[in-house]
Chain A
Amino acid sequence: MQHLGFSHTKLKIGSFDFTCCEGCQLQLANHESSLPAFLELLDIRNFREISSERHDDYDIALVEGSITRQDEVERLETIRKNAKVLVAYGSCACFGGVNSLKNNFPLDQAVREVYGDKSVDTLPVRKISDVVKVDYSIPGCPVSKEEVERIIVSIATGSIISLPKYPVCVECKQRLNTCLFDLGEICLGPITRAGCDAVCTSGKTPCLGCRGPADDINFPSFKQLVSDLKLSRDELDEKLGFYNCFEEFRHDKS
């Protein structure tokens, strides 16, 4: 393919799912208007949502889901060895995601609750970077297809790969939404990384922080806000824990 006189070969890509809903992978097969152009950039070597072919010679591995079993650890380590670049995508891969709620309970209690007496091989939930080295992360539940396309294009053209550093409030205000705190809700928008185009808050659903903390957030001030407005600290903790994205802040009981 030619780009400004430079030719580049298609990116040999594999996409792999671990413990998750595979919703992020489905997102990649979405956005039909740009799907042909997106696929044109890629040489799909392994991607069960898109193709039944299976090859192990990929340069870029997109990894979705969290790690909750020993066999997943081994499979992930193999993928890491095969790939030149490993991209964790989706909140499960980047932070552990909603699966991490399991970690709030003793493992045997969690298994008994779901599977009864059946024996199940399971481990506490871990994010991808807890197990192998991650080169890039694309957060979100699910990921934004536009953002994934932008990052894949950046990889293809050798440009800087970046995510917005500012919080969701910027995008939310640009959509002229009424602040959900003014409607009496706790919204994680002021501390959550933008890039979602404030999709939840535009539908009047408070942000649950699926994209994780923005750069250099002011958590003490945010906590102060929740207490000044006499909103529930328990509800705040529950929201912070929902996707497991705010672990470094959640247990700060000060």
Chain B
Amino acid sequence: MIYKIITKPEFRKFIDALVRQNLSYAPKEVDVDKNGEPVYQFKEVSSVSDIAFDYSVTASSAKHFLMPFKEDLSRFTFTDKDWQQDITYEAQPIVLIGLRACDISAVTILDNVLLNGQFPSPHYLARRKNTFIIGMDHLPLPDCFCKSMNHHTVNDGFNLFCSDIGDSYYLSINSSKAFNYLKEFEISDPTDEDDCKLIERRKLIKHSFKTEVEVTGLPSFLDIEFDSPIWTKWGDKCLNCGTCAMVCPTCYCYNMEDRPDTDLKGSARQKQLYSCNLVDFAEVAGEHNFRPKNGDRLKYRYYHHYLGFAENANQQICVGCNRCGRACLADINPKDVINDLRMEKESCMICASPSPPRT
């Protein structure tokens, strides 16, 4: 890692040059909600003035740039008695600007799942290798809980990370490509004062969290609470709409369908990102459904996120961005579900030795 300082006006010049020459996506204001708050999404930008550098959070994550919501994995061409399969891994180089530390951690988690497993995804690899990531730090929102998940800072998974130290950015340069781009702009070595500012900035971020989720020992809690009534309680609220998984930066489960062309001369094998909360996620042939109840499906989403699956060496995949919590119309969010789970456990202990009744 190389550390440099760039003034904010010079940084804008650098970003402007970058986005004018590359297909780039960055936070943009797309709407104003009913409370007058701006809504942001990662959208295509063509100049630096398109970018909302002071954005709060994007409603959806950046995962679909690496793992599209829908993609054709292969094409089949049929001839009279035979067929041919064509697979291409074409990915246009893109620049992603303004990802938060938690979003970059999410990309690292996806790398781990999709590239380090037994069957690495060449489609993901092609996109990942052609993605240039510029991260930017931020002060946490009141409901961010990435610090609880230890994803409020990030050391890897980006090309360039920018920490806001007032009039300048403290740059962490993690790739030769980023360094070569930056060489054409005015950058300087950090002074002792800059280092102090960076430490102060990090301290400020660390101490600005208002939401904490106690995740110590959570995997075993989840294991023990398999039959807990809280799954039914929260499941009864769940709309089965899949919104949580769509906005999540790490949900990667998908459905696969073969879609024959209307002329029957070919077919596409189409992958679509799915959600374990959708009613037919665990449906198999004969319409048998292993998880017919909302509560069961919701439980497995929490199991995958906080207990982990073998694909990911049983690591938790939630980064604490709370996009699911913000987007959920039924008001289901990780903090409340996990706290409820812990409360329930504690109340069980109270039941075992009840306090004397008040008189």
Contacts and interface: CB of A to CB of B under 8 A. Distances in A.
B203 interface: no
Nearest to A187: B329
Given A176-B60, A178-B39, A178-B59, A170 B246 contact: yes
Given A149-B262, A165-B278, A179 B329 contact: yes
B280 A165 contact: yes
A253 interface: no
Given A1-B264, A2-B80, A169-B243, A214 B236 contact: no
Given A40-B263, A182-B34, 8 more contacts: A1-B264, A153-B260, A170-B275, A176-B60, A190-B241, A191-B239, A218-B240, A221-B238
A195 to B, nearest CB: 12
Shortest beta-carbon contacts, A-B, top 3: A173-B246, A37-B263, A169-B241
B278 A166 contact: yes
A183 B31 contact: yes
Interface in B187-232: none
A242 interface: no
A228 B271 CA distance: 36
A34 to B, nearest CB: 5
Contacts of A5: 80-81
B39 A41 contact: no
Nearest to B78: A4
Residue among B64, B243, B259, B273 having the largest count of chain A Cβ atoms under 10 Å = B243
A227 to B, nearest CB: 13
Nearest to A225: B329
A191 B243 CA distance: 12
Contacts of B52: none
Contacts of B237: 218, 221, 224
A167 B237 CA distance: 16
B146 interface: no
B247 interface: yes
A53 interface: no
5 contacts: A153-B260, A170-B242, A170-B275, A216-B240, A225-B239
B83 interface: yes
Nearest to A166: B278
A37 B264 CA distance: 9
A157 B59 CA distance: 41
Interface of A: 1-5, 34, 37-38, 40-41, 149-150, 152-153, 156-157, 159, 165-167, 169-170, 173-174, 176, 178-179, 181-184, 189-191, 214-218, 220-222, 224-225, 228
Interface of B: 30-31, 33-34, 39, 41, 43, 59-60, 64, 69-70, 78, 80-81, 83, 236-243, 246-247, 259-264, 273, 275, 278-280, 283, 292, 294, 327, 329-331
Nearest to B292: A216
Contacts of A167: 239-242
B246 A174 contact: yes
Given A40-B263, A176-B41, A176-B60, A166 B236 contact: no
A167 B278 CA distance: 9
A249 B292 CA distance: 20
Contacts of B273: 174
A222 B262 CA distance: 37
A107 to B, nearest CB: 37
Given A41-B262, A178-B31, A225-B329, A3 B78 contact: yes
Contacts of A37: 261-263
Nearest to B262: A37
Contact of A214 (B43, B59, B263, B279): B279
A77 B115 CA distance: 58
B243 A183 contact: no
Residue among A3, A4, A150, A183 having the largest count of chain B Cβ atoms under 10 Å = A4
